[in-house]
Amino acid sequence: MSSFYKPILTALFYLAQVGVVMAQDSMNYRITENYVPDDLDLYQTIVKLDQEFFGYYNTCETQLELYADFYAEELEFYHDQGGLSTSKSEIVQSTKQNICGRVTRHLVPNSIEVYSIPGFGAVEMGLHYFINADNPPNEPRKVGRFMIFWKEGSEGWKISKVVSLH
């Protein structure tokens, strides 16, 4: 191959990869086909809380206290790789050591579903993926499922249970 074509082919290969990633990001994934929230106000509240919580998660090197405040004191965190954690302080410490400044969470657009749990709060289900700064930038993204149980109480909405599947 002549030296003239090599940079052109490299650029085309790069653009094809960027196009695939952009197409993946713009896909309209759903957990349940044709989902429509039963309670639009509740749905909007939980979506906003998700944005706030993961905004703090993604900037936890400077926002760790705000991130931690979303968790209830009685917390259960089920993770398909890390197992069960029931200590809020250990979860926050683990986030500080392993996530802050290194990993960001990205929500798959339009994937959140919210269901009311009378007398408790709500459950949120959705799809997301994580980008680790230590990994190559063009590494394929693995979309995972999550469930967050939001408990509504005198202190507002708190996360009481999380199921995170990668």
Could you report the per-residue pLDDT of 70-92, keeping only the tens digit for each?
999 999 999 999 999 999 999 99
SS3 of 38, please?
coil
Q: What is the pLDDT of residue 28?
A: 56
Helix, strand and coil percent figures for the chain, each rounded to 5: 35, 35, 30
SS3 of 98, please?
helix
Residue 76 lies in a domain: yes
What CATH number is attached to the domain comprising 83? 3.10.450.50
Q: What is the pLDDT of residue 94?
A: 95
Q: Provide the residue range defining the domain that includes 113.
A: 29-165
First-to-last C-alpha distance (Å) of the chain:
41
SS3 of 26, please?
helix
Lowest mean pLDDT among 20-29, 53-62, 94-103: 20-29
Residue 129 lies in a domain: yes
Query: pLDDT at residue 109 above 50?
Result: yes
Q: What is the mean pLDDT of the chain?
A: 86
CB half-sphere exposure, 58, CA atoms < 13 A: 13
SS3 of 30, please?
coil
Our count of domains for the chain comes to 1
Q: Which residues of 14-51 are buried (b: 16+ CB within 10 A; e: fewer)?
A: eeeeeeeeeeeeeeeeeeeeebebeeeebbebbbebbe
Residue 154 lies in a domain: yes
